[in-house]
């Protein structure tokens, strides 16, 4: 079962560029297989970001938790970024939307 962890952070304007470049450098870290990390900016609040970590199963999540390395948290600490909330979700159901049925909103008349 997939697990999604969301970490909400508040980023001062002065630290946004450092956060983005620091996040980009995290790609060089050796991450467990079966994991995707998204850094998303709130569309209505430029200083609010959401980090989404999606792992294939709970075993991978436990592996991440048990490792002493915390590159994402280290980045936040280095930049003085405050975590405002953390939530973990077990994915209970999923489906893939077939691309052939997708109609872009601008094609709807």
Encode pLDDT of 4-49 as tens digits: 999 999 999 999 999 999 999 998 888 888 899 999 999 999 999 9
Residue 76 has pLDDT above 90, yes or no: yes
Residue 66 has pLDDT above 90, yes or no: no
How confident is residue 79, by pLDDT bands cut at 50, 70 and 90?
very high
CA distance 73 to 3: 19
For 81-105, the pLDDT digits (tens) are 999 999 999 999 988 777 666 566 6
pTM (2 decimals)? Answer: 0.79
**CATH fold label, 3-92:** Alpha-Beta Plaits (3.30.70)
H-type alpha helices, the chain: 16-25, 58-66, 71-79
The residues that bridge with 90 in the sheet, in sequence order, are: 3
In sequence order, the 6+-apart residues with CB closer than 8 A to the CB of 89 are: 3, 4, 5, 6
């Amino acid at each position: 079962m997939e697990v999604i962890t969301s970490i909400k952070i508040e980023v001062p304007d002065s630290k946004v560029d450092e956060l983005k470049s620091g996040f980009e450098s995290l790609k060089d870290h050796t991450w467990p297989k079966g994991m995707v990390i998204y850094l998303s900016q709130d569309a209505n609040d430029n200083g609010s970001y959401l980090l989404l970590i999606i792992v294939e199963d709970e075993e991978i999540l436990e592996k991440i938790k048990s490792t002493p390395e915390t590159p994402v948290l280290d980045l936040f600490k280095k930049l003085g970024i405050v975590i405002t909330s953390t939530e973990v979700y077990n994915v209970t159901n999923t489906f893939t939307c077939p691309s052939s049925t997708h109609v872009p909103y601008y094609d709807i008349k």
